[in-house]
Structure 1
């Protein structure tokens, strides 16, 4: 069965493409925001400013510090029962549950202690080895960056990358 390219992201890292299946079924507001920002080119060139081995890689802050976001309003939490396991994509936030904006993280390993406290919006379906290859650190000395982040529907021949 063909996949809906509107519900996949193609995130090009310096080491190669990462395909993320979006989860509008559990986080429709967050998925809409991620797609909106991706279509605006917001994520292109942004670094992963916090990469902790065995835990997660965090990016999505245009300042590269972990304290910034987009100019759009913060999102209300959309917590779900989807577990934070390897490859899951979830939104970063402040201690306020309704403060997610543009920053997100990708889990390297099981992080189920985050379940029902952070909004899961997607999962890596291919290219996790490229996430694993990101330079580590808080912040990394030479951080890895998002070369481009696009909705698959907007990428010619994206179907070749979809599962």
Structure 2
């Protein structure tokens, strides 16, 4: 796989849109999240507005359930005690579990899937698709970011966000709104101590992980933004990368699987390579032309 990535061209990579990129800052470091407005436009709009309002600043990660998710938001249990969402937000959002697949780019994987008639990637997000119903949806792969809800399908307002840190809980697909995925810093979330309360919630406030801030990259000065590129999934190079994982041909493997699960396809990122330095040009002579004596 690394040999394939080493042979990539600049056109095989893309820079995430700062308007759709979140920085979750913890004491231990920074988590970078790419939002997916093509799948959850209403939720993403609320998230953008809340990030601008500093809604999550000073809150905490309140849940870490083993082999499942971590979750953050307002720890207050009563609605009257919760922090106002702020300007530009909507208190009520529609359920955005799936969308029409018409017009949605889809880079299909070659193998069958137990959760969807077809699986692949849409703008880099793992997704399922059903041609019979003309629908598509994001998949709960490792690193997926979703919006918690109550029993009612439309009970999420995107204030409570979670990240999948365990074995792909694909049974959640089309049952909850996914809003994006982590593209950097998953190790900061996956190592958090597991909560001892029901569903992995922390029983004591002291167990929670403080959140310094959640900011939109577009609101951060360019010089302070994370320099990151994401491998495009609509290129021949990505097809080769999938095949290199589908059938491992190095000496250690004695049996080629001939199959790959959607959530086992890697989505590489990198720091942009340094721009080539242009060779210095010799300064032009300022000497005056000689004139002939008469």
Equivalence for 1:28: 41
Residues 2, 85 of structure 1: alpha-carbon distance in 2 compared, 3 angstrom cutoff: closer
Match of 1:155 in 2: 220
Counting only pairs closer than 5 Å after superposition, residues 1-163 of structure 1 correspond to structure 2 as: 1-63=14-76, 65=77, 70-71=84-85, 72-80=90-98, 81-101=137-157, 102-109=159-166, 110-137=168-195, 138-139=201-202, 141=204, 142-156=207-221, 157-163=223-229
Say if 2:62 and 2:75, in contact at 8 Å, map to a contact too. no
Checking the alignment, whether the CA contact within 8 Å between 1:49 and 1:66 is kept in structure 2 is no
Q: Assess, with a 3 A threshold, how the Cα gap between structure 1 residues 66 and 132 changes in structure 2: closer, same or farther.
A: farther
Show CA shifts across 1:61-93 (max 9, x none). 252x49757555121110022111110000100
* Contact 2:143/2:182, CA 8 A, preserved across alignment: yes
Unaligned runs of 5+ in 2: 1-13, 99-136, 196-200, 230-294
Whether the 8 Å contact between 1:87 and 1:107 is mirrored in structure 2 is yes
Give the structure with higher Rg (CA): 2
Tell me, yes or no, if the aligned pair for 2:70 and 2:189 is still in contact at 8 Å. Answer: yes
Aligned counterparts of 2:34 and 2:162: Cα–Cα separation in 1: 14
Alignment CA distance shift 1:105-1:70 (3 Å): farther
TM-score, normalisation: structure 1 = 0.90
Question: How many residues get paired?
Answer: 162
TM-score, normalization by structure 2: 0.52
**Cα deviation per residue 1:102-137 (whole Å; 9 max; x = unaligned)?**
111110021111110100001000000111132321
CA RMSD of aligned residues (A): 1.9
